[in-house]
């Protein structure tokens, strides 16, 4: 492959693993890694649009990005955990979940979609979650996280339509990485079936395998780590 690969959220467990895997594979002319904990020009906070715009300006210098990965997300923070019922809803916590899980990635799309090359099959993939699927929801709960990821899925579908106008064979998708051994999943790992908790490096390789098989007909869809399509 040629062009550049970009990882947004490279300071997280999955994002960092994706960046390492892309560097090791050496299939791209340049691998960019941006994250909230990164210093200097590599800093990107999805809550700070100026930092997103600055990162996009660096990438715009070339080569053109043919793979953009958005690996950011928030499930719990401090003593705030996913809601089990509507009585636990809190407006500020809902707003923060939407800001990080949906609005932030949307702003990344705003600044990075225009950088896609007009030829080839560039891929933009964002980490969503199976619990963000409305069609797959049979348990309820986790209201803010579910709703924010559902919003992200809609934004990705819209981005898929818009990207195709600029780059006719562009592919924009949501990806569910499975349950990954990370800070995000840590409080809930006791409920994970044996063999279903993935190390970040394995999760990254599984996601990159899915991406490698994507075709333009998959534009606007939502896939699990094993390549199975997930209903919206």
Across the chain, mean pLDDT equals 93
State pLDDT tens for residues 156-187. Answer: 999 999 999 999 999 999 999 988 877 666 56
* Domains (range + CATH), the chain: 4-224 (3.40.50.720)
Angle between helical axes of 143-166 and 91-98 (0-180°, round to 10): 30
Among 1-5, 9-13, 22-26, the minimum mean pLDDT is found in 1-5
Instruction: Give the H/E segment covering residue 144.
Output: helix 143-166
Query: Which residues, in sequence order, are CB contacts of 3 under 8 Å at separation 6+?
Result: 28, 29, 30, 63, 64, 65, 66, 67, 117, 120, 122
Q: What letters, b where the CB count within 10 A reaches 16 and e where it falls short, cover 52-77?
A: beebbeebeeeebbbbbbbbbbbbbe
Residue 153 above 70 pLDDT?
Answer: yes
Q: How far apart are CA 51 and CA 12, in angstroms?
A: 17
Interval 4-18 mean pLDDT: 97
* pLDDT for the residue 182: 73
Confidence of residue 83 (pLDDT cuts 50, 70, 90): very high
Confidence of residue 191 (pLDDT cuts 50, 70, 90): low
* pLDDT for the residue 138: 81
Q: pTM, whole model, 2 decimals?
A: 0.93
State pLDDT tens for residues 84-139. Answer: 999 999 999 999 999 999 999 999 999 999 999 999 999 999 999 999 999 988 88
State pLDDT tens for residues 197-212. Answer: 789 999 999 999 999 9
Interval 22-48 mean pLDDT: 97
Among 62-66, 80-84, 158-162, the minimum mean pLDDT is found in 80-84
Residue 193 above 70 pLDDT?
Answer: no
């Amino acid at each position: 492959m040629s062009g550049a690969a970009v990882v947004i959220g490279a300071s997280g467990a999955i994002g960092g693993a994706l960046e390492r895997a892309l560097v090791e594979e050496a299939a791209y002319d340049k691998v960019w890694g941006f994250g909230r904990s990164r210093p200097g020009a590599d800093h990107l906070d999805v809550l700070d649009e100026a930092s997103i715009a600055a990162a996009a300006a660096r990438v715009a210098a070339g080569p053109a990005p043919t793979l953009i990965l958005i690996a950011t997300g928030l499930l719990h923070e401090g003593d705030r955990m996913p809601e089990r019922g509507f009585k636990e809803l809190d407006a500020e916590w809902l707003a923060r979940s939407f800001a990080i899980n949906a609005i932030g990635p949307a702003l990344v799309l705003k600044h990075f979609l225009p950088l896609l090359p007009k030829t080839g099959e560039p891929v933009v993939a964002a980490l969503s979650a199976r619990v963000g699927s409305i069609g797959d929801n049979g348990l309820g709960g986790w209201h803010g996280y579910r709703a924010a990821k559902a919003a992200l899925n809609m934004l990705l579908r819209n981005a898929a339509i818009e990207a195709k106008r600029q780059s006719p064979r562009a592919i924009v998708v949501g990806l569910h990485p499975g349950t990954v051994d990370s800070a995000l999943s840590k409080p809930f790992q006791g409920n994970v079936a044996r063999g279903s908790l993935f190390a970040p490096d394995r999760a990254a390789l599984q996601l990159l395998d899915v991406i490698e098989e994507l075709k333009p007909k998959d534009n606007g869809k939502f896939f699990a780590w094993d390549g199975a399509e997930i209903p919206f």
